[in-house]
Amino acid sequence: MAKYRQGRINEEMQKELMAILRRVKDPRISDAFLTVTAADCTADLKYAKIYYSALRGDAKEIAKGLKAASGFIRRELARSLNLRMTPELTFIADSSITYGAHISSILNNLEISEPDPEETDGDENA
């Protein structure tokens, strides 16, 4: 399968999964504000890794909820995507958004002071 086709399938799978996750009635999933950050499907379309990020909730409970709802999610994905095979879904927690927010808070808390003009004048003459 060509790389561009696999990329298109990954993008479409990510979009459809976002819509499907909004319809899941499991409170572990619906209350967590999940975001699908990426979908990575194998070339033979048998397996797919779904990377997700949750805004709130217990990570273990969210993982259990996604595993329990994976059959429903896969069935809905098969209905929306017109593929010969619907991949088996593996959900992987993605901490990049949390890490980015942490780095942003560190940068926002930095205090940058202006250099003293007297100190810089002394350095130039030396």
In this predicted structure, the answer to whether residue 123 has a pLDDT above a threshold of 90 is no
The pair phi, psi for residue 113, each rounded to 5°, is: -105, 150
Q: Give the model confidence (pLDDT) of 23-80 as tens digits.
A: 999 889 988 888 899 999 998 889 999 999 988 888 899 999 999 999 999 999 999 9
Higher pLDDT: 8 or 118? It is 8
- The domain ranges of the chain are 3-102
Which is it for the CA torsion 24, 29, 33, 34, positive or negative? Answer: negative
Average pLDDT of every residue of the chain: 87
CB of 63 within 8 A of CB of 52? no
Give percent above pLDDT 90 in the chain: 48
In this predicted structure, the answer to whether residue 124 has a pLDDT above a threshold of 60 is no
CB of 88 within 8 A of CB of 47? yes
Strand pairing of 88-93 and 47-54? parallel
Give CA 6 to chain center in angstroms.
18
In this predicted structure, the answer to whether residue 102 has a pLDDT above a threshold of 90 is no
* pTM reported for the whole predicted model: 0.76
Strand ranges, E, within 1-126:
34-41, 47-54, 88-93
In this predicted structure, the answer to whether residue 122 has a pLDDT above a threshold of 80 is no
CATH number of 3-102: 3.30.300.20
pLDDT of residue 125: 54
CB of 13 within 8 A of CB of 83? no
User: Can you spell out the DSSP letters for 8-24?
Assistant: HHHHHHHHHHHHHHHH-
